[in-house]
Structures are given as C-alpha cells and as structure tokens.
Amino acid sequence: MLLKDDWTFSTAKVYKSKQDNVVDPISSLLIYKGTKTATRSKIDVEMVDSNLHVFTRLKGRESYSTQDVATQKRVLSEILTRASN
C-alpha cells in the first residue's frame, strides 16, 4: 500500500504534462475520480503545458524551455505553500 491507512490530507493536487508520452492521459482522470481529501472533497488536477514527464526535475536534462523553468518554479512554490498550510 502506498499510503498509510491513517494518512489524511486536506488538500491535494495532481500535475500532468499535456504532451507526456510516458503516462497515459487517462491516468490523471482516474486519480481525480478515485481520490478525495480528508474532508471528502475532490482533489485538484492541472494539465501543465509541457512535454516533459517530470517537469519539476530540469537539472541534468539536455534541453528544456524557459516555459519549463517558469512552470517548475510555479509548481514547486505551490507545493511548498500547500505543504506549509
């Protein structure tokens, strides 16, 4: 089991690249439909304009765009904000 039985969260968000060739496009929909927060609310899903599978990891890549850098900064900032609330 990936998550402990007693692990709860009040907010959650899934980020999925629009042009991701690694993950089936339906996966984010299935995660959205099958996951709820501790308050039984739906989670957020954001389709990110990128062709990178892991757009939060740019270091070591041969190439990436300035938009990928901006997206990485924005998403990591959102994650830190959500984690600190």
Q: How confident is the model at residue 76 (pLDDT cuts 50, 70, 90)?
A: very high
Residue 9 has what pLDDT? 66
Q: How confident is the model at residue 18 (pLDDT cuts 50, 70, 90)?
A: confident
Residues sharing a CB contact under 8 Å with residue 3, sequence separation 6 or more, in sequence order: none
Write the secondary structure of 20-85 as one string of H (helix), E (strand) and C (coil): CCCCCCHHHHHHHHHCECCCCCECEEEEECCCCCCCCCCCCCCCCCHHHHHHHHHHHHHHHHHHHC
Residue 1 has what pLDDT? 45
Residue 74 has what pLDDT? 95
For residue range 24-75, list pLDDT tens digits in order. Answer: 878 888 888 888 877 888 888 888 988 899 999 999 999 999 999 999 999 9
pTM above 0.85, yes or no: no
Q: How far is CA 7 from CA 24, 25, 32, 76, in A?
A: 27, 27, 18, 22
